[in-house]
């Protein structure tokens, strides 16, 4: 599945509610998922790690959707060798 397909799937399921929640509140949910991923990364539970990575990606897509950002296009800076140096 392409990034754009996953982002569209998330939009179809959740975008109306996500837009009502807004960026600030959605960002807080995203940060909560980042925290859950951090906890999972130090555990030995591979299934939980996989679940938390999926949740982080889904919430990132949500944030992108409600801010009208196409993640696949945004990632072109990495896929089209447009990076100068290191950050």
Domain annotation for the chain: domains and CATH numbers: 17-79 (1.10.287.1080)
What backbone phi and psi angles, to 5 degrees, belong to 9?
-60, -45
The predicted pLDDT at position 83 comes to 64
pLDDT at position 81 is: 73
For 29-77, the pLDDT digits (tens) are: 999 999 999 999 999 999 999 999 999 999 999 999 999 999 999 999 8
Contacts of 40 (CB under 8 A, 6+ apart): 48, 49, 51, 52
Question: What's the pLDDT at 28?
Answer: 98
Mean pLDDT value across residues 81-85: 66
Residue 86 has pLDDT above 80, yes or no: no
- Given pLDDT bands bounded at 50, 70 and 90, which one contains residue 82? low
């Amino acid at each position: 599945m392409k990034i754009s397909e996953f982002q569209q799937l998330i939009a179809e399921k959740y975008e109306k509610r996500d837009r009502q929640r807004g960026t600030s509140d959605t960002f807080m949910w995203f940060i909560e998922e980042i925290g859950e991923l951090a906890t999972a990364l130090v555990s030995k539970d591979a299934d939980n790690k996989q679940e938390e990575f999926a949740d982080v990606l889904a919430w990132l897509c949500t944030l992108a959707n409600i801010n009208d950002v196409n993640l696949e296009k945004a990632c072109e800076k990495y896929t089209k060798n447009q990076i100068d140096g290191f950050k």
